[in-house]
């Protein structure tokens, strides 16, 4: 290895270590989320909704922001996890953590099987393929009334206390804490994944899969792995929705959920995980606020905000982030420069 290549390798290693360090704004974000338990005790239900949507968005960001896989049917894994958690609680074990793990495993297995459908073709092909998978599951859920309850939804779902200790209360406090803990744990794991050599290889595949293959990086294997992980995350998000509401219907497989989570990432940004979290907060707050002010036209204002983001440009809107010490944007710029030095 030449001195230049060795220096670039050391630079990349140093950037990975710096990217893996906790930043002040990250710690503040999680502390604020915990503080909401005491600051907004009457808003636990909407906070739980934000948390579940954030986890769903993080799962999509893993494949869209890091591997460049566009999907219009990510709700397939979300809905599958929701139904598996509900059926498992109704017919087998009603303890939520066990159901969460089972739902994640089943969704991950389904993600692994369907991952081979997104390995070939253009982005348009992937959009239609993933959309088709979600439509198939939605129709199965609607027709298999003996198992899913059909259009009426799954009934008889009873969720016992978490680990046999913490019961889901009427105000949603324990539900929010439960969902927040799951979000924190899975985000920490995703953070380690994307700030590793494997995460860098995903970015290389996204930028130029042909060049990545020439460097010895296997796009097929890595795409299958990240797609499976994202499916696990989405399935767990769906399971959280079922467990915190004790209800599941074909709505969890509706197209609007895939559209909403894409909109969340458009608002929050892709490629740094926290975009899904910030986007979920902004999207949910805006939706609830606008639906109160203009119940019939709230989607118009959401669409207008989306157009403004596209027209103005995200780089201009988020330019202030570059001045934050250790900001995600600054780290991405450094990583991009290091990658160019390697080339």
Domain hosting 206: range is: 27-274
The pLDDT of 185-207, averaged and rounded, is: 87
pLDDT at 58 over 50: yes
Q: How confident is the model at residue 8 (pLDDT cuts 50, 70, 90)?
A: very low
Total tally of structural domains belonging to the chain: 1
What is the CATH classification number for the domain harbouring 202? 1.10.3470
- Output phi, psi for 163, to 5 deg: 55, 25
Higher local confidence (pLDDT), 58 or 319: 58
pLDDT at 67 over 60: yes
> What pLDDT shows up at residue 5?
46
Whether 299 is in a domain gets the answer no
At 236-295, the pLDDT tens digits run 999 999 999 888 988 999 888 888 898 899 888 888 889 899 999 999 998 888 888 877
> What pLDDT shows up at residue 20?
63
Whether 339 is in a domain gets the answer no
Higher local confidence (pLDDT), 141 or 300: 141
> What pLDDT shows up at residue 1?
47
pLDDT at 342 over 60: no
DSSP collapsed to 3 states, the chain? CCHHHHHHHHHHHHHHHHHHCCCHHHHHHHHHHHHHHHHCHHHHHHHHHHHHHHHHHHHHHHHHCCCCCCCCCCHHHHHHHHHHHHHHHHHCCCCHHHHHHHHHHHHHHHHHHHHHHHCCCCHHHHHHHHHHHHHHHHHHHHHCHHHHCHHHCECCCCCCCECCCECCCCCCHHHHHHHHHHHHHHHHHHHHHHCCHHHHHHHHHHHCHHHHHHCCCCHHHHHHHHHHHHHHHHHHHHHHHHHHHCCECHHHHCHHHHHHHHHHHHHHCCCCCHHHHHHHHHHHHHHHHHHHHCCCCHHHHHHHHHHHHHHHCHHHHCHHHHHCCCCHHHHHHHHHHHHHHHC
pLDDT at 52 over 60: yes
Whether 199 is in a domain gets the answer yes
> What pLDDT shows up at residue 37?
92
Which range, of 66-75, 82-91, 201-210, 251-260, averages the lowest pLDDT?
201-210
The pLDDT of 62-82, averaged and rounded, is: 90
> What pLDDT shows up at residue 16?
63
Mean pLDDT, the chain, whole residue set: 82
Q: Which residues pair with 248 in a beta bridge?
A: 154
At 309-329, the pLDDT tens digits run 767 655 555 554 555 544 545
At 153 the three-state DSSP class reads coil
The pLDDT of 286-305, averaged and rounded, is: 80
Q: How confident is the model at residue 59 (pLDDT cuts 50, 70, 90)?
A: very high
Q: What percentage of the chain carries pLDDT values higher than 70?
A: 84
At 27-50, the pLDDT tens digits run 999 999 999 999 988 899 999 999
> What pLDDT shows up at residue 311?
72
Higher local confidence (pLDDT), 336 or 187: 187
Q: What percentage of the chain carries pLDDT values higher than 90?
A: 36
> What pLDDT shows up at residue 333?
53
pTM of the model: 0.86
> What pLDDT shows up at residue 313?
58
Task: Select, from the ranges 65-74, 208-217, 233-242, the one with the highest average predicted confidence (pLDDT).
Answer: 233-242
Higher local confidence (pLDDT), 156 or 50: 50
Whether 343 is in a domain gets the answer no
Judge whether 283 and 263 are in contact, CB under 8 Å. yes
At 92-119, the pLDDT tens digits run 988 999 999 999 999 999 999 999 888 7
pLDDT at 6 over 50: no
């Amino acid at each position: 290895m030449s001195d230049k290549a060795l220096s670039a390798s050391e630079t990349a290693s140093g950037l990975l270590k710096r990217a893996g360090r906790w930043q002040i704004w990250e710690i503040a974000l999680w502390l604020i989320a915990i503080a909401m338990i005491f600051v907004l005790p009457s808003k636990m239900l909407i906070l739980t909704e934000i948390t579940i949507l954030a986890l769903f968005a993080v799962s999509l960001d893993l494949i869209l922001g890091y591997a460049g896989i566009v999907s219009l049917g990510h709700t397939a894994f979300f809905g599958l996890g929701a139904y598996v958690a509900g059926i498992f609680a109704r017919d087998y074990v009603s303890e939520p953590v066990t159901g969460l793990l089972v739902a994640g495993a089943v969704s991950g297995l389904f993600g692994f099987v369907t991952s081979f459908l997104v390995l070939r073709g253009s982005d348009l092909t992937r959009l239609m393929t993933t959309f088709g998978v979600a439509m198939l599951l939605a129709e199965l859920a609607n027709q298999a009334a003996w198992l899913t309850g059909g259009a009426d939804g799954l009934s008889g779902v009873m969720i016992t206390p978490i680990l046999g200790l913490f019961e889901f209360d009427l105000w949603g406090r324990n539900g929010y804490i439960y969902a927040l803990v799951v979000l924190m744990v899975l985000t920490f794991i995703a953070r380690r994944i994307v700030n590793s050599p494997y995460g860098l290889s995903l970015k290389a595949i996204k930028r130029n899969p042909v060049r990545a293959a020439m460097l010895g990086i296997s796009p097929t294997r890595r795409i299958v792995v990240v797609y499976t992980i994202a499916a696990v995350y989405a399935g767990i998000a769906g399971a959280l929705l079922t467990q915190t509401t004790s209800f599941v219907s074909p709505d969890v497989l509706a197209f609007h959920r895939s559209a909403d989570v894409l909109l969340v990432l458009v608002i929050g940004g892709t490629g740094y995980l926290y975009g899904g979290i910030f986007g979920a907060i902004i999207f949910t707050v805006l939706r609830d606020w606008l639906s109160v002010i203009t119940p019939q036209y709230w989607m118009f204002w959401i669409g207008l905000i989306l157009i403004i983001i596209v027209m103005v440009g995200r780089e201009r809107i988020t330019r202030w982030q570059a001045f934050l010490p250790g900001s995600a944007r600054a780290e991405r710029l450094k990583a991009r420069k290091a990658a160019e030095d390697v080339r």
